[in-house]
Structure formats: structure tokens, C-alpha cells
Amino acid sequence: MTRLGAAYGRLWTASTTSNLGDGLLLVGAPLVAIQLTREPLLVSGIQLVATLPWLLLALHVGALADRRGRRTLMVSAALVRASVLLLVGTVVLLGGLSLPLLYLAVLAFGIGEVVFDTTSQSLVPDLVDREHLAPANGRLIGAQVVMNNFIGAPLAGLLVGIATASIFLGPAVLYLAAALILLGLPDRYVPPSRPPASLRSDIGEGLHYLRRQPALVGIAGVGAFMNLANTAYFSVFVLFVVGPGSPMGLSEVAFGLLATALAAGSVIGSLVAGRIEAALGPRRSIIGGLLLSSMMMLIPAMTAHPAAIAAMAVTIGFSSVVTNVASVTSRQRVVPTALLGRINSAFRLVVTGMMPLGALLGGLITGAFGLRTLFVCAVVTQWLAIAVFQRHIRDRALRHEPSAGQAVQDAAVDTSS
């Protein structure tokens, strides 16, 4: 961490702490849900509620991240999540567990995630030199996956069997700790001086800039349909793995342990993603990672053998981190700092905003045609998306840093129409 500086180290520590809370809740919530229902649509509703805030709030949060102190936004998001989950956990301790309460907890998580993740991605270029963006992003994304899956997932599986309330109270404590860590982070981002503008005009400025960048639009487009398919696939994957009537027939604890295979691949990917991106370029890193991941997702359509599913998880973990590092680094490299919050939020709106629809489709398709039909449909959707959008993704556009004058010109909103 010394090479990237103490400020980055504090951001990494806070993000790692917060992501452990994310892992407990993201893995624990579906396990709690199947204690209450085995209806595919209701189980997939967990993912729908978790990702819906990206669709509703992403653009406004991005504009705020460019207007306000970014550290303050992250601290506020962590404190709100901690407060809501503390309340929910207390109700569960008193015997009030229900599906609507579970949805409420996941919704609070999702709202906080929009603010925390959008702002943290926008903050990285303020803390490290641009030549260190790829390794900095690799460490952040690697830590995220390790906490979510390598530690959070098996711990969630264990805690669900011991005390359901801990799935909510544990993350509450971790989000509070992340907020305290962030209080010591220097807020180096200073919003540029400019005439007063409405939030709507700020959002329009960011969208106008993004439309003028075909390579970024290509990444956003392919990411949207990849996430649509991924969410449909994994929102009901717990039904493939857990329970005596499932194809794999594993326990809740085993489901958590299976997620550690994903984390193992992600750790490997985080260590080499920067070098892969430097050697292959952003285009081949992104497209190659997407193709590898989608091909591995065919395995459950053919077999439920634990070794094969574990191998799939390792490979998906590796390829996903390589893809994400190349995508995030490209945005941070070519987008002016004053627009980065809005561009990141526009990306997440397009990419993550498709996830509620994916979760809904996952439940509907599984209920009507079964899990293996869903798996095949998801992979075919991903291949079509790669074929359509890959031609827009070009290395030259993703490595170019615009001059200050060009950045202002590209960002200016055309008001003549």
C-alpha cells in the first residue's frame, strides 16, 4: 500500500470493511429468503430490490459526487446503512422476521451502495497518480470480491444457521467502522468554480459528454446486457445449489463455501489485471474477459458436479476482475475529473440499471421453463451483446487523455436545440 500512498490505503481499508458487510448481506439475504419461500420470483426479488436504486438514483448521485465533498457522501452512506440495518436486526431479534422486512434491509443496502460505490470510484484519481490507476483499481476490486465471497459468503452461510439477526447486525457494525475510517481521509476533490446550475443540467452535461465517446458507450452497452443476463442467472442460482430438491443438493454453509472459489479467481485476477491491461490493451482485456466468463456459465446447463461448478466460479472470478479493472481504469483515464462522478453514475445506471429487469426475468423464466433453460438463455444473450457492441470498443479512444480545452468543449451541453 505504501506505493499508492496513505490516503489510498485509508480508502482501501474503508472499502474493504464495507465490502465485508456487503458480502454478509448479499449472500445471507437469499439464504434467509429461501427459509421463507421457495417461489423463484420472490427469491429473485432480493436481487431486484438490491439493484433498483441504481436505476432510480444513479444519475442524481453522480451529479452530487461532482458538486460535493466526496468523502462526506461516503461517510453519510455508511452511516445511513448502519442505522437501518441496526433497526432491522433488532426487529429480527424480537421475532419479527418477514419477507417485506428482508426486502427493506436489502433496499437500504442498495441505496447506500449507489452512493458509496459511485463516489469511491470517482475518488481514486484524486488519491493516486494516473499511471497507478490500474493497480489501484485492481486492489480495490480484488478486496471487494474477497470480502464479498471469500470471507463474507462462507461467514454468511454459517451465521444464517446460527443467528439470522447477525446477517443484519454484522453489516451494521462494519458500515459504522467504515464511516469512522473515512473520517480521516483527506478530501482532495474541490468542485470547480462555475455559475449556479440545477441538478438536471449537471446530469445533462455528463450524459452529453458520454454520448460523444463511442468507446465508452460500447463498454456501457455490452455491460448492460451482460449484467441483465448475469443477474437473471445468479438471482436464482441458490435454487440450483441449496436444498435436497436442488440439482446440487448442498447446504447453506456449502453454498457460502462455493463462493470462495469465485473469490479465489478474483484474487488472482486482481493481482495480474493491471499487467494484463497493459499488455493486451483495454479492448482485448474487456472482450476477452467477457467471452471467457460467458463460456464458463454454460457448465451448470450440462452438469451439477461440484468440481465443475467450482472451476466455473474460479474462472468467472478471474475474468470478471480483469474486465472490471480495464473498464474502470479506462473511464478514470479519459474522463475529466470534474465529470467523473456523473460519468461513473451514468455507467452504473446503464449497466446496473438492467439488473432489476434481469432479476425479474430470472424468476419468471425459471418458474416457467426451469433453471437450465434460463442458464442457456443468459449465455446466448451475452454472446449477442458482445457481437453487437465490441466494434465500438477501441484501444486508442480508451488510452487518450483529453486536453483541458478539449474536455471543456466535449462536456459543454448543446443548448441550441
- The arithmetic mean of pLDDT across residues 222-246, rounded, is 90
Q: Give CA–CA dist 132/68, Å, rounded.
A: 25
186: three-class secondary structure by DSSP: coil
Q: What is the pLDDT of residues 262-321, one digit of tens each?
A: 778 888 888 888 889 889 999 999 999 999 999 999 999 999 999 999 999 999 989 988
pTM of the model: 0.68
User: Which of 251-260, 322-331, 362-371, 400-409 holds the top average pLDDT?
Assistant: 362-371
Residue 191 lies in a domain: no
Position 155 pLDDT exceeds 60: yes
Residue 24 lies in a domain: yes
Q: Give CA–CA dist 104/245, Å, rounded.
A: 29
Q: Give CA–CA dist 307/66, Å, rounded.
A: 46
Residue 194 lies in a domain: no
Q: Give CA–CA dist 217/8, Å, rounded.
A: 29
Which residues are within 8 A (CB) of 78 and not within 5 positions of it... i.e. 6 or more apart? 14, 18, 112, 116, 175, 176, 178, 179, 182
2: confidence class by pLDDT, cuts 50, 70, 90: very low
Q: What is the CATH number of the domain that holds 247?
A: 1.20.1250.20
Residue 227 lies in a domain: yes
Position 403 pLDDT exceeds 70: no
Residue 189 lies in a domain: no
Residue 141 lies in a domain: yes
Nearest to 224 by CA among 69, 342, 55: 55
Across 229-244, b (16+ Cβ under 10 Å) vs e yields bbbbbbbbbbbbbbbe
At 199 the pLDDT is: 62
Q: Report the number of distinct structural domains present in the chain.
A: 1
Which residues are within 8 A (CB) of 399 and not within 5 positions of it... i.e. 6 or more apart? 281, 282, 330, 333, 334
- Which residue segment(s) compose the domain that 224 sits in? 2-183+200-411
At 408 the pLDDT is: 42
At 191 the pLDDT is: 58
Residue 195 lies in a domain: no
- Taken as a whole, the chain contains a residue count of 417
At 111 the pLDDT is: 92
Residue 188 lies in a domain: no
